[in-house]
Amino acid sequence: MKQILESIRNEFNQEAAITKRVLDKVPADKLAWKPHAKSMSLGQLAIHLAGVPGRLAMTLQKDQFEVTPDAFEPTPPKNIEEIQATFEQSIKAAEEYLKGLNEASASGEWSLIVNGKKAVSMPRIAVVRSIMMNHCYHHRGQLSVYLRLLDVPLPVIYGRSADESPFG
């Protein structure tokens, strides 16, 4: 388990740097833009992505978390600085949580309660992997599509993009 925890911490740090590169490309004048009426705005998606790790770190400190699905709608950020500050605070909170995560707490059961009923129950380490990390990758992918649709040059994520190359 120690190797798994160390691997997760390392991956989190590497991926946080990639996510920051993508968030840094969000244009300040397009925060209200949506690719579709059913989609979140660019600003909502960016602030959601920025805040997920920290919110999960806080949530995972308890044995369960209750959510009301109807109440989920990310508040649009006021500006780019709010997105950047949220991301910085979120990453710090997640790093602190992951540093303190030991084998016993990582193996401990965590539950998501939806409308008063247990919807999911799994070890904390599985929640870290599936929500703190994979969920972020999912939204980072969405954000890169938003940016491409806005003709914003994409940064290197894994290997080169059509706009940047890690090879010079």
Burial class (CB in 10 A: 0-12, 13-18, 19+), 48: buried
* Domain assignment present for 156: no
Residue 168 lies in a domain: no
Condensed to tens digits (0 to 9), the pLDDT of residues 115-161 reads: 899 999 999 999 999 989 999 999 999 999 999 999 999 999 998 88
Domain range for residue 134? 2-149
Number of domains in the chain: 1
Q: Which residues contact 35 (CB under 8 A, 6 or more apart)?
A: 145, 146, 149
Q: Is the pTM of this model over 0.75?
A: yes
94: in domain: yes
The answer to whether residue 166 is domain-embedded is no
Asked, for residue 165, whether it belongs to a domain, the answer is: no
Contact, 142 vs 66, CB < 8 A? no
Q: Does 164 reside within a domain? A: no
Any idea what the CATH number is for the domain that residue 101 is in? Answer: 1.20.120.450
